[in-house]
Amino acid sequence: MLVGPGDDAAVLRAPDGRVVVTTDLLIEGRHFRRDWSSGYDIGRKAAAQNLADVAAMGAVPTGIVVGLGAPADTGLDWLDALTDGFRDECAEAGASVVGGDMSRSDIVVLGVTAFGDLGGRAPVTRSGARPGDVVAVTGRLGHAAAGLALLEAGRADDPGGPWRPALVDAHRRPRPPYRRGPEAAGLGATAMIDVSDGLVQDLGHIAEASRVAIAIDPAALPVPGSLAEAAAELGADPLEWVLTGGDDHALAATFPREVRLPSGWTIIGEVAEGEGVQVAGRRVSQGGWDHFRL
């Protein structure tokens, strides 16, 4: 960052000559609830989902700008906590909050734009997957969906093992594997995406853009004990959370089969001729999060 907040605009260094840019809009009641998440949680989550998109292009996040609409009676403590959340999540990714604006609104509305630097690498898009590639994931899958299910069922504060608060916290504050995006680019990833709307749905975007089929082996998917315990309590299927749950902001990527992936990446399937996403040999609908679903 060459010029930070305080002027009409910030100035970021772009040694690569190309700038990765992404933006998201978050609306109270649609994307978050203030009775479920603190201002700090919301700031962390809003920053994370944008910074993860930058990492999914193979870039290193550098900064965010924030637009905020809030009711007149919004407390200063809540606003300070929101700002702290933005700052701390940016610090996790090696980025900075470089500016923003705010206005009065009937509900809290957040618009976040993030920037990143490719460091001389080509961007990793959704359209480069090739038949014969392997499909791998890094980061958590299904945790945020399990946490949301606990909140919706009113079971977030029930007594129990440490898995309960950990899953609820996963919904409130995702942990994107930021450094894995540039790592994947350096390893020769052919396609990559931020898993924000569900693994099947987001891999479906890669399949469509690349004009290939993606086959997932459900036995290879990571389903930790915490998901199994929550699912048993709620009468749910933990694999369904892993396949269709959003908001974890894991990364899914395709790689040439000969690439040796470092620890932290799990191979879950392969790319083939055809179209769509298959799980255990059966084509499945994309499912996941739909921003226009009522």
The per-residue b/e assignment along 121-154, b for 16 or more CB within 10 angstroms, e otherwise, is beebbbebbeeebbbbbbbbbbbbbbbbbbbeee
Q: Say whether 290 counts as a known binding-site residue.
A: no
Q: Say whether 126 counts as a known binding-site residue.
A: yes
Calpha distance 123→126 (Å, rounded): 10
Q: Say whether 194 counts as a known binding-site residue.
A: yes
| Domains of the chain, CATH where assigned | 19-117 (3.30.1330.10), 134-284 (3.90.650.10)
Tokens of 143: 């945790």
Calpha distance 286→199 (Å, rounded): 8
Q: At what angle do helices 39-56 and 76-93 cross, to 10 degrees?
A: 30
Calpha distance 92→158 (Å, rounded): 30
Q: Say whether 291 counts as a known binding-site residue.
A: no
Q: Say whether 202 counts as a known binding-site residue.
A: no
Residue bearing tokens 């459900």? 218
Q: Say whether 247 counts as a known binding-site residue.
A: yes
Q: Say whether 7 counts as a known binding-site residue.
A: no
Using an 8 Å Cβ cutoff, are 199 and 243 in contact? Answer: yes
Calpha distance 277→28 (Å, rounded): 32
Q: Say whether 169 counts as a known binding-site residue.
A: no
**Which residues pair with residue 221 across a beta bridge?**
none
List, for the chain, all residue ranges whose pLDDT scores fall below the cut of 50: 288-294
CB-based contacts of 216, cutoff 8 Å, min separation 6: 135, 199, 200, 203, 243, 268, 269, 277, 278, 279, 280
Q: Say whether 8 counts as a known binding-site residue.
A: yes
Q: Say whether 265 counts as a known binding-site residue.
A: no
How far apart, in Å, are the Cα atoms of 244 and each of 13, 80, 189, 259?
38, 34, 23, 27
Q: Say whether 22 counts as a known binding-site residue.
A: yes
What pLDDT score was predicted for residue 293? 43
Taking the alpha carbons at both ends of the chain, their separation in whole angstroms is 41
What pLDDT score was predicted for residue 291? 42
Q: Say whether 103 counts as a known binding-site residue.
A: no
Tokens of 120: 């001389």
